[in-house]
Amino acid sequence: MEPSKDKWNIVLLIFVIHGIGTLMPWNMFITAKGYFVEYKLGGGANSTITTDYAANFLQYLTVSSQIPNVLFNWLNIFLDLGGDLSKRMSISILVELVLFVVTVIMAMVDTASCPGLFFWVTMFTVVILSIAAAFYQNTIYGMAATFPFRYTGAVILGSNVCGLFVSIVNIASTYLFSSMRTAAIYYFITAMIMLLVCFDTFYALPLNKFFMYNQLSRKTDDNEGNRKNSHVPYWSIFKKEFVQLYNVYIIFFVTLAVFPAVNSDVKVSSPNFFIQDAGMYVQITCFLTFNLFAMLGSLTSYWIQWPEPKYLAVATTLRLVFIPLLLFCNYVPLNVERTLPVFINNDWIYWLIAILMAYTSGYFSALSMMYAPQTVEAKYQVKAGMFAAAMLMSGIFSGILFSFLTPHLV
């Protein structure tokens, strides 16, 4: 076949769509905190038990989702679980679709008399969803790694768009439907529609000449590599891309250490600030700000790639400063008496710090994920992309664990 171009950037857009799909389960469940904590677990006959479930819901959700995700992201590198890339992708999406059907059914059913059953069914659903998402995410990054580096950037862009998309869907469903039950049903149905779009676009890819040329070229490289070397040099791949793997890890560690745990508990400082409503202040300065500027940061990486790979570690390490900076803002965790002085009590300065944190998260994460597969030979780029995806999830998990310490630091 003659080399083909990605006409109208169709393949690039499909990778953006799959970037949205990879983080859909996590974002849908974490953003629906009100539905789970206040509606499903916030009342009922046995109020004491229900309150315990509601109080610990986010902690259980984090553990149930992140541990399987990290574990299977790493296992998927070394073991060909689920077959080839195409089979893994299709099975993962189908499993997620089935589990969202279960979630919609649970939203329809009145579970006020059995909150414990609802809680544990939800946690089981989250565990299986996270395992499927690990396969999905690891596979799409491995596949994107064989294309020019901006295609990996497209997956990162989609991941950042996902948070913004889910936030908008959550707000829209809440305002459109007076019943939280109805709002939740249509909220989760939206995730199913998005996953169906991912499934359909994945099977439309073989119709694209650019995609098929790339896949045939990759198979040729793989076959040549298999003839020369019967085993994959995992340690060699890891060493060659170690700096970029460090970048991926530290970026997501810093981001998840402060977002949303710290940002969502920063309170308005000045009576003259234009947002005084506590809920709206968090929605705008935390969730909307992060999702919007992380997406803009990812977009910027398409036109500007600076710093170059060998100096990127300097910039990513400097982002550690965002942890103390945000702790010095008016961060007041729930049920915690703050003793650390508030050094930054200007809402505009806090908002600027939040914007910079979000923008650099999107920009540097896109750069590091694009640089990582370029550090190894073409025949090992799939594995390099998988390593990068596993480090991404490891950084997220470590950052979330660290966020449990931040109330004690202040």
Question: How many Å apart are CA 347 and CA 363, to the nearest integer?
Answer: 24
| Per-residue confidence (pLDDT) for residue 56, from 0 to 100 | 74
- Block means of pLDDT (10 residues each) for the chain, 410 residues, are 78 95 91 84 57 76 90 88 76 95 95 89 95 92 88 92 88 87 94 95 88 77 53 92 97 94 91 87 87 93 92 97 97 88 95 97 96 91 93 93 92
231-410 matches 9-230 in CATH topology: yes
Q: Are 387 and 238 in contact (CB under 8 A)?
A: yes
Q: What is the DSSP letter of 174?
A: H
Sorted by where each begins, the domain ranges of the chain are: 9-230, 231-410
Tell me, which fold does domain 231-410 have in CATH? Answer: Growth Hormone; Chain: A; (1.20.1250)
CATH for 9-230, among 1.20.1250.20, 1.10.10.10, 1.20.120.1780, 3.10.330.10? 1.20.1250.20
Give the largest CA-CA distance in the chain: 70
Cα within 13 Å of Cα(129), Cβ side: 32
Alpha-carbon distances of 345 from 92, 207, 252, 330, rounded to whole Å:
46, 56, 26, 6
Place of tokens 């329809």: 108
